[in-house]
Chains A and B, each alone.
Chain A
Amino acid sequence: MRKRIIIRTTLVAVLILIGIFLYTIGQEHKVIIDNKDIIVNGNTYNASTVYKIWVDNQEIGVIEKNGRAVTKVTGVSHKIVIEAISDQALSGEKHERIFKFKSNEGAVINIPAMVNALNEWIDKTN
């Protein structure tokens, strides 16, 4: 009887853990990518050029100056790569960042802040 209770309790605990795991890896998060001017500590960082965006190795598209792109990602950890476009060709100037989500979070990523390696390059939203 006692053994049966222990086995059943363990099974329920394992199922709950599996549920939490599925919840974490399966949740979709909204990511907004802005190529807009940003003011940080009184300094203005301008959106200077057009960028091509990849998130988790998936091409999102090209964002013009003062433009915005929206994408949805699934799971906890993600990678964003941006590459400047000059004279209608990729310049080779790449910037890469890893970002992570908690439950029910979204993010707004600012490209000029990212290019200038500012801490404010990502703003998490609920």
Chain B
Amino acid sequence: MMKKQSSSKKMNPGVYFLINYSVPIIFTILVAFAIPLSKLSANYFVTEIMIRLSRNSFLILALLIPVMAGMGMNFGIVLGAMAGEIGLIFITDWQIVGMPGFLLAILISTPLAIIFGYFAGIVLNRAKGREMVTGFMVSFFMNGIYQLIVLYGMGNIIPILNPSILLPRGYGIRNAISLIGIRQVLDKLIPLKIGGILIPVATFLVITTLCVFIAWFRKTKLGQNMRTVGQDNEVARISGINVERTRILSIVISTVLACYGQIIFLQNIGTMNTYNSHEQVGVFAIAALLVGGASVAKANIPHVFIGVILFHTMFVVSPRAGKELMGQAQLGEYFRVFVSYGVIAFSLALYAWRKRVEKENERKKIMGYRKSILVK
């Protein structure tokens, strides 16, 4: 009689849940500890979270599609952010204000985002298995090109008509540009005040539309192709899917969405730091998504919103909590920065460990099956 060999121990569901959701659990504990310590009023806290949800969600939703295609966390969304900023520089130069300015910025930056995304997709295709670090490096590279164009090209080769955004030397864009013409143009499009808290209805409608789009996209042929590519490149290739083209498309879509997300972000803030606004976009967006319980291989819409709420609550409460606890607000800020980078490192390490354990379990299963055949 064939002896059934138990090849792998089944993990306790509770332990499995704790390991899988360790990051959001840790963050929830930290936030639960920091909120009462910060002594912030409920009204202020809710207002801040509302603003940050409307400001950041679109950018983080842009990360979902590359995860679906098996490309991990797309650090290359910085390229999309840069494309958005170039669009905003032009509309500020031409003094286009209001909703026409906002829409024109989107129109101008879309082809740029497509080109940047295509370039990033080609590079990432040559670095299969190392997409995240390659995306990180590509974003640094493109930052250099962006600075070359904006700091030297604009005003020199690219004519800039509005002298107020140029540096005193006559070329190069100033460090900070006021976006007063399009400030909160989307947020205040459909104003709604509940209990003294202004709710940016139009922005939330746009975010909802994107969520519906992502949910619909998953069911389309291209979406299914991306999921197949994400699960196994070789199986996808044998099935007749053009793996390289599908991967490039996922990065292009992500970059374009990141471009729109950055425009939405900056219209809320009302000021653009020409050379800094896009720098932390990738890291903070990815950190927020990971805090929400996503992993390098799996990310869904609820992870985005949970992540924004938890991660940005840390932004809001850490300086005050640090001041109350240690007498220095700056220490709270250092703690927040440490946690932001730390959560990415922890999530990636956890993912790598889980993949290794799963591979080991698979190998044991196969060995056990082979042994059972031999015994037979």
Contacts and interface: CB of A to CB of B under 8 A. Distances in A.
Interface residues of A, number: 11
Contact of A19 (B95, B98, B104): B104
A28 B107 contact: no
Interface residues of B, number: 15
B133 interface: no
B98 A74 contact: yes
B94 interface: yes
Interface string A2-24: 00000000000001001100110
Contact of B100 (A15, A25, A104): A25
A22 B95 CA distance: 12
Given A28-B181, A104-B161, A74 B97 contact: yes
A38 B33 CA distance: 71
Interface string A85-126: 000000000000000000010000000000000000000000
Nearest to B101: A26
Given A15-B107, A18-B107, A19-B108, A26 B100 contact: yes
A27 interface: yes
Main secondary structure of the interface of B (DSSP, over half): helix
A28 B97 CA distance: 7
B236 interface: no
Contacts of A26: 91, 96-101, 104
B97 A22 contact: no
B115 interface: no
Contacts of A27: 94-97
A74 B99 CA distance: 11
B103 interface: yes
Contacts of B104: 19, 22-23, 26
Nearest to B103: A22
Nearest to A25: B100
Contact of A23 (B96, B99, B161, B181): B96
A122 B150 CA distance: 37
A26 B99 CA distance: 8
B96 A28 contact: yes
A19 B107 CA distance: 7
Given A22-B101, A23-B100, A74-B98, 6 more contacts: A18-B107, A26-B97, A26-B101, A28-B95, A28-B181, A74-B97
22 contacts: A18-B107, A19-B107, A19-B108, A22-B101, A22-B107, A23-B94, A23-B96, A25-B100, A26-B97, A26-B98, A26-B100, A26-B101, A27-B95, A27-B96, A27-B97, A28-B95, A28-B96, A28-B97, A28-B181, A74-B97, A74-B100, A104-B161
